[in-house]
Chains A and B, each alone.
Chain A
Amino acid sequence: GAGVSQSPSNKVTEKGKDVELRCDPISGHTALYWYRQSLGQGLEFLIYFQGNSAPDKSGLPSDRFSAERTGGSVSTLTIQRTQQEDSAVYLCASSTKWGAGTDTQYFGPGTRLTVL
């Protein structure tokens, strides 16, 4: 079975442009997470979706960041007016069951974003 996929794998953009990053979770997984990983750093939680519940957006660093999840499956992370400090790898993960912290998170390969 397919794992979590993310696209594009690499994105280079100019400062001030908007970007959209896509995540296709494992089929049937109800929970979906977005993380940001700066070079050589740990995982920074951004946003969490669980089924049809309102997402937990508490990790979004600014109002330039937004995310949606359509039909309980595919998710898109949008960064508006990108800044150089947004350069990082953006990771998506999904998990089954009820998205409890004890559920295994399955990660995609990430999208490497470079803002020039």
Chain B
Amino acid sequence: QQQVKQSPQSLIVQKGGISIINCAYENTAFDYFPWYQQFPGKGPALLIAIRPDVSEKKEGRFTISFNKSAKQFSLHIMDSQPGDSATYFCAASGRSNYQLIWGAGTKLIIKP
């Protein structure tokens, strides 16, 4: 029940296309859902995060869509660029928990 399931494991998108990464969770106590971006040789860095009181959050080309009833959330990258090529991790946590529960990661490659 503590798991966060992320898919796909890898994704190849043409430059200018839309990249979509999905995550699903079981624990209804989760109330914070961040996405982290990791470039090779670097540690992950927070990209964007959402709380379940909204269904969508947009920051530039990055959008999180949240479906509370389905217990799913997804990251959309519009107009994907080669510089977006990285590994993306979704995560979740609950108000009383200090730990983030991490998805397994998605390796995204944007083809020029």
Give the distance in Å from the alpha carbon of A93 to the alpha carbon of B89 in the complex.
15
Min distance, Cβ A108 to any Cβ of chain B, angstroms: 5
Contacts of A109 in B (CB 8 A): 41-43
Check A45–B99 contact: CB distance below 8 A: yes
Least CB separation from A9: chain B residue: B41
How far is B92's CA from A54's CA once the two chains are assembled, in angstroms?
24
A102 x B41 contact (CB < 8 A): no
A48 touches B46 (CB 8 A): no
Size of the chain B interface, CB-CB below 8 angstroms: 21
Interface of B is mostly: loop
- In whole angstroms, how far apart are the Cα atoms of A44 and B71 in the complex? 23
Q: A101-B93, A108-B43, A109-B43 are in contact. Are A42 and B98 (CB under 8 A)?
A: no
B28-50 interface bits toward A, Cβ cutoff 8 Å, 1 = contact, 0 = none:
00001010000001111110000
User: Which residue of B32, B44, B98, B107 contacts A99 across the interface (Cβ within 8 Å)?
Assistant: B98
- Nearest residue in A to B44 (C-beta to C-beta)? A107
In the complex the two chains form, what is the Cα distance from A43 to B89 in whole Å?
9
Complex CA–CA separation, A105 to B45 (angstroms): 8
Chain A positions within 8 Å of B103 at CB level:
42
- Docked pose: A40 CA to B106 CA in angstroms: 9
Asked if B107 contacts A40 (CB within 8 A), the reply is: yes
Residues of A with C-beta under 8 A to B102: 42-43, 45
- Closest 4 CB pairs between A and B? A101-B93, A107-B43, A42-B104, A102-B32
19 new A-B contacts, CB < 8 A, other than A105-B100, A109-B43, are A4-B43, A41-B104, A41-B105, A42-B103, A45-B102, A48-B98, A91-B43, A91-B44, A100-B97, A101-B32, A101-B93, A101-B99, A102-B32, A102-B95, A104-B46, A107-B44, A107-B45, A109-B41, A110-B43
A-B contacts, 14 of them at CB < 8 A, read: A42-B103, A43-B89, A43-B102, A91-B43, A101-B93, A101-B95, A101-B98, A102-B93, A104-B46, A105-B44, A107-B45, A108-B43, A110-B41, A110-B42
Q: Which residues of A contact B (CB under 8 A)?
A: 4, 31, 40-43, 45, 48, 50, 56, 91, 93, 98-102, 104-110
